Structure 1
Amino acid sequence: MYGAVFGDIIGSTYEIHNVKTQDFPLFPAGSTYTDDTVLTIAVAEKLLAQSHITPAKSYALWFKQYYRRYPNAGYGQMFRKWALSENLTVQRSYGNGAAMRVSAIGCAFDSLAEVLYEVRQSCHYTHRHPEAVRGAQAVAAAVFLARKGCDKEEIQRYLIRKLHYKPCMSLDDLRGTYVFNSRASYSVPPAIQAFMESSSYEDAVRKAISIGGDSDTIACMTGGIAHAYYKKIPDAIYSRAIPCLDSGLKDTLRRFEEQFQIPR
């Protein structure tokens, strides 16, 4: 899960100022966490908490609570309106907001069936569109399979056969035409492709950001998968990224790491 959070932080300054190269500073001035991190950690908080309400409602209440704690983290307009409402209304968003926050689910369960079920529950109130659910399940399943030691071909094969995920073109072909689009079907496949073409955690995040577009979210999704696969985040990245988080976010990360034995 650290991998997703740090991918978000590294990508935060490049969402507005896209780069189409892998040669860029990892932590330029202004690097910070965004809504991707806040909601990723909200999911982790839900998984740590004991609750007697339905999983879908529990996720929704944690999302609203974290929005209130961090109202200026850069949320989309639809999510902001939903989070501010008094009721638990159902939104049929097809955006990547569900996929960006699910890495913790891929880390917390012992079967794919549980992972896919839990992802669907996390989408229930905010991202009921099948496209958003499928994208979120693809990211969480990739995290789970990477964590369990599957190789990249096995991960790709599962996503294609079981989730009907459509892989995208190579990154070299993609960079020239890719522009910002937060739709799940447009941004999840490039995030997975960046992982597939990578050789390390840092290489994966650099490749994700080099695509352009919704850089922080793509790097968040890629980073979550890459951390599960490579098992290690470079100390140089950890030492620069962790101070970007406040004590509350760091505490939840630490508790999740301890509870689910996440390698750093």
Structure 2
Amino acid sequence: MIGTIIGDVVGSIYESKNRNTPSVFDEWFPKVRECRFTDDSVLTIAVADAIMQTEKKKDDKHFERFFKESLIDNFHYHSRQRSCSFEYRFLDWLIRRETRPYNSKDNGSAMRVSPIAYTSKTMEDVLDMAKLSAQVTHNNHKAIKGAQAVAAAIFFARTGHGKEEIRRFIEERFYKLSFTLDEIRPIYKYDISCNNSIPQAIVAFLEASDFEEAINNAISLGGGTLASIAGSIAGAYYPIPEYLRDKVLTYLTSEQTDIVLQFEKQYVCHFPFCRRELLSETLYWNA
């Protein structure tokens, strides 16, 4: 899930701003003091925390209830970070201490879903868990579809599948991807709906030749959340430069960093179908 956080932090200074430039990383270090983590990282870490807290209950017949309750508790707990802003309907949900969903169809369900893909062993599990993770707030079918599509793409990337397989699965089950970034960049406007952001983030990954290019592609369309989603998929497919990983972790609180590292230790480094094992003769590693 570190790819999500990197996309979030690097994209934070470009949120909703199209950047049709060769590389945002050329500008990133001079502007590094302006970067920050946002709600994308906060809620992704909350999902990871909920997964770890309910791991021992996975075989319980009431697991779905336990997991949803843990998600709600962790969303409220981790969102006490007032150094970042939240989407207004989610913020209202927090302030009211709500436990009921509010039928959102926005991409908040997808931006936080990446940990799900590392803890599920089958595509059926991935889709079921992604649905559960969305439903606690984003119970609209469009938001559920968005979360499932991103989780599925990450799972395929993690398990050694190629880009054409990923594209085919997404197009058969979720979204049409029959466009290029060059075609849509002049006319694309920042959009938080799943239907008008998830396909674009997935194509940003599909057109990339490495992790950094996936982030660049997403930011060229409009910044942070697109970069978070593209980064979540690219981080499962490509090696992540250590300088990025190390630098981005310094933006998090010590508690957040501990959760990220514990999650990686517990799930990412021991993933049963690890891409590193499947492609042992390549330069891929799993971060």
Counterpart Cα distance in 1 of 2:17 and 2:71: 32
Tell me, in whole angstroms, the C-alpha distance in 2 between the residues paired with 1:236 and 1:261. 19
Match 1:41 to one of 45, 49, 68: 45
| RMSD after superposition | 1.5
Specify the SS of the correspondent of 1:220: helix
Among residues 210, 222, 225, which one is paired with 2:233 in the alignment? 225
The amino acid of 2:150's aligned partner reads V
Q: Shift of residue 241 of structure 1?
A: 1.5
What residue identity is the alignment partner of 2:93? W
* 2:238 is aligned with 1:203: no
Tell me how far apart the structure 1 counterparts of residues 203 and 16 of structure 2 sit (CA, whole Å): 22
> In 1, are the aligned partners of 2:44 and 2:114 still within 8 Å (CA)?
yes
Structure 2 stretches lacking a partner, 5+ long:
58-62, 270-285
Which is greater in Rg?
2
2:190 matched to which residue of 1?
A: 180
CA–CA distance in 2 between the matches of 1:164 and 1:235? Answer: 33
Whether 1:165 and 2:175 are equivalent positions in the alignment is yes
User: Alpha carbons of 1:6 and 1:196: their partners in 2 closer, same or farther (altered >3 Å)?
Assistant: same
Give the 3 Å change call, closer, same or farther, for CA 247–178 of structure 1 in structure 2.
same
Deviation for aligned residue 1:236:
2.2
Deviations 1:170-226 (A, max 9, x none): 0111110111111111111110000000000011111111112xx110000000100
Residue from 176, 200, 204 that aligns with 1:194: 204
Partner of 1:243: 250
Q: Does 1:22 align with 2:22?
A: yes
Any idea what SS the aligned residue of 1:98 has?
helix
Partner residue in 1 for 2:125: 114
Query: Are 1:130 and 2:141 matched, yes or no?
Result: yes
In the alignment, residue 12 of structure 1 is paired with which amino acid? S
Deviation at 1:16, TM superposition (A): 4.8
Instruction: Report the equivalent of 1:8.
Output: 8
CA deviation digits over 1:10-43, x for unaligned, max 9? 0000015431223332342311100000000001
Q: Which SS does the other structure have where 1:54 is aligned? A: helix
- How many Å separate the matches in 2 of 1:197 and 1:240? 25
Structure 1: unaligned runs, 5 residues or longer: none
Match of 1:146 in 2: 157
Take 2:98 and 2:107, find their aligned partners in 1: how far apart are those partners? 23
Question: Is this contact kept in 1: 2:215–2:227, CA < 8 A?
Answer: yes
For the residue of structure 1 that corresponds to 2:182, the secondary structure is helix
Q: For 1:58, which of 70, 87, 97 is the aligned residue?
A: 70
Distance of 1:56 and 1:168 partners within structure 2: 35
Query: Structure 2: how far apart are the matches of 1:164 and 1:17?
Result: 27
- Show CA shifts across 1:95-139 (max 9, x none): 000000001101111111111111111111210111111111000
| Distance in 2 between residues matched to 1:94 and 1:177, nearest whole Å | 22
Identity of aligned residues (%): 36
Letter in 2 for 1:91: Y
Looking at structure 2, the residues matched to 9 and 119 of structure 1 have their Cα atoms a distance apart, in angstroms, of 23
Residue-by-residue CA offset, 1:27-69 (whole Å, 9 max, x unaligned): 423111000000000010011113664322221221111112x
Candidates 104, 110, 129, aligned match of 1:93: 104
Residue 149 of structure 2 contacts residue 174 of structure 2 at CA under 8 Å; is this kept in 1? no
Q: CA deviation at 1:253?
A: 0.4
